[in-house]
Amino acid sequence: MYKTHRVVRGSKSRTRKFNGKCESCGTSICSCKAYQYVDESNQAITDNSLYLCQKCYSERYGVKIKTPEQSFKERLADRFIRMADSQEDADKAAFLMRMSDFILTFE
């Protein structure tokens, strides 16, 4: 049987079970809102990483996680920019660009 030069090794351990709360601060969170560090090159690190809330995850790993509202505003503004690029009328294109700027600056 032919073996490749480098065989991808999987972890022998099982993944940790989620207990319904952040393992750093202890706040109760849903499993869909729990964040877990993923290491592409070492499955054992991924299997043993903590389940954290958004605040604890961003503090520990220095990652800025966008809220759903921020993601929606960026998608909407991007849509207005694409519409402005496809417009032949300069006034309509300028209006759409102003709308995209307004959406991004609106709190």
One digit per residue, the tens of pLDDT, for the chain of length 107 reads: 555 545 555 556 667 788 889 999 999 998 888 899 888 888 888 888 899 999 999 999 998 988 889 999 999 999 999 999 999 999 999 999 999 999 999 87
pLDDT score at 2: 56
Of 31, 35, 54, give the one whose Cα is nearest residue 46: 35
With 0-12 / 13-18 / 19 or more C-beta atoms within 10 angstroms meaning exposed / middle / buried, residue 35 is: buried
Instruction: Output the pLDDT for position 31.
Output: 86
pTM of this prediction exceeds 0.85: no
pLDDT at position 44: 83
